[in-house]
Chain A
Amino acid sequence: MIPATGKPALAAKARLRFDRISGGYMLLYPERGLALNATAASILKLCDGDRTVETIVGELHREYVDRSDDDVRHEVVDFLEGLLKRGLLRVLG
């Protein structure tokens, strides 16, 4: 479980890239790539190793005003934990 005070950042092997053809973002890592939906891309753009999970949830909540705080928190944490399992994320502090 990622603590709310943890500061997520992409792992050394992962890189975010805008994809001109699909108009969305891709998360690239050796031999692979994930096409991200808009929410996932918004989350990852905030994973800079400075912002905490709580800060990210707060900023995202402002972007998705029609959704509850808990709903956004669940989505962020689930997504980040999935990336952590794949070794695409590290959590600082």
Chain B
Amino acid sequence: MTEAPRPYTLVAELTYACPLHCVYCSNPVDFARHHDALEGDDWRRVLREAEQLGVVQVNFTGGEPLLRRDLEVLVEQARALDLYTNLITSGIPLERERLVRLRQLGLDNVQVSIQDARPAESDRIAGREAFQGKLRVARWVKELGFSLTVNVVLHRQNLDRIEESIALAEELHADRLELANAQYLGWAFVNRPALLPTAAQLERARSVAARARARLEGRMEVVFVIPDYYVEFPPACMDGWGRRFIVVTPDGLLLPCLLAHTLPGLSFGNVRQASVEELWTSSPGLSAFRDEAWMPEPCRSCDRRAIDFGGCRCQAFHLTGNAAATDPACSLSPDHALIELARDEAARPPSELSALRYRTARASAAR
């Protein structure tokens, strides 16, 4: 058995609103149904209660967290609790004065997303002009003495130029570079035909990243995350369901991961009605996949069940319609053919360029 679950990280999704329309956004495709129902006081209470429970790090994210006018108050509360405080942002819209203020309030790390090292390509994936503004913000972040993370989501349309992303992060003096392949959930699942890379693309990019990691050791942390579609065994999604992470959505649902509220039949409590501790310990949705009782074979008797916890529940649901199935990404899954089929499709030259579906409120409302 594993030790008792303790949350270390709170992912505070302050809003699903975002000026960008990235085609692989990790927000749910029906995000338009969820409103920013939490007041600043609710969020401050969530921070206090989460810290009481063991949380040491908070990621302010969204959507675009800068759209919350009271972000400053929340950063101030987080630092009063001595939490390590990250801002996960597109960098749009941000003025230098606001960043100066966030620095004074004790914000630790700023993560700026860049969609591609080439301006026109970056803007095409983001669905609007944003690239130059992002670079400006990244430079301010370093000037002001913050730690800077540059995040680039990888896919078949930008993997072959991964060197350019590494060079850009070096030029910006990033402290950490996340080269994270899209995971095919949410909007990325919708756009999978246009985004899923080939095995060859991935292999090449992985070796480029490995060389960069060795070369930049001690200066810039380089993280390369491969898509679950190309693993032999799935990673421990969120370090296991309801074990290390708390996610709170803009409307107050307390979740074990970013998309758990899209799974049918699970009920998650709301922080407006209950404390973080009550929900962490007794929300039915969190309990659903926390232990091993739910596991089917081959997970149930597998030696890896305490390593990967059966993989990603949302991926299982996306691909099989059953959230309690073994993650098809696992080579031992009876549904693994679904993954192999997607890889085969990715390996064929596209007969026509698949149209991108942008993450917009209108497209979301239609779902």
Contact = CB atoms under 8 A, between A and B. Distances in A.
Interface of A: 11-13, 15, 17-19, 21, 26, 28-31, 33, 84-87
Interface in B198-230: 217-221
Contacts of A17: 56, 82, 84
Contact of B111 (A11, A30, A85): A30
Interface string B43-60: 000000000001011010
Contact of B84 (A29, A84, A87): A29
Nearest to B106: A15
B82 A12 contact: no
Contacts of A15: 84, 108
Contacts of A26: 56
Contacts of B219: 87
Contacts of B218: 84-87
A28 B86 CA distance: 11
A12 B9 CA distance: 20
A13 B86 CA distance: 10
A24 B69 CA distance: 36
B8 A13 contact: no
Given A29-B84, A87-B219, A19 B56 contact: yes
A33 B8 contact: yes
Contacts of A13: 108-109, 147, 175-176
Contacts of A33: 8, 56-57, 84
Contacts of A87: 175-176, 217-221
Contacts of B6: 21
Contacts of B84: 15, 17, 28-30, 33
A30 B112 CA distance: 13
A36 to B, nearest CB: 13
A85 B213 CA distance: 11
15 contacts: A12-B147, A13-B109, A15-B108, A19-B56, A26-B56, A28-B57, A29-B84, A30-B86, A30-B111, A31-B9, A31-B86, A85-B217, A85-B218, A87-B175, A87-B218
B209 to A, nearest CB: 16
B26 to A, nearest CB: 15
Given A15-B108, A33-B84, 10 more contacts: A13-B108, A13-B147, A13-B175, A18-B82, A19-B56, A30-B86, A33-B57, A85-B218, A87-B217, A87-B218
Dominant secondary structure of chain A at its interface with chain B: mixed
Contacts of A11: 147, 175
A76 to B, nearest CB: 18
Interface residues of B, number: 24
A85 B222 CA distance: 12
B145 interface: yes
Interface in B166-198: 175-176
B190 to A, nearest CB: 26
Contacts of B9: 31
B86 A12 contact: no
B90 interface: no
Contacts of A85: 217-218
B25 to A, nearest CB: 19
Contact of A30 (B56, B82, B109, B145): B109
Contacts of A19: 56
A28 B84 CA distance: 7
B30 to A, nearest CB: 27
A33 B82 CA distance: 14
Nearest to A19: B56
Nearest to A90: B218
Nearest to B147: A13
Contacts of B57: 28, 31, 33
Contacts of B140: none
A30 B217 contact: no
Contacts of A84: 218
Nearest to B221: A87
A29 B176 CA distance: 10
Contacts of A29: 84, 109, 147
Interface in B297-320: none
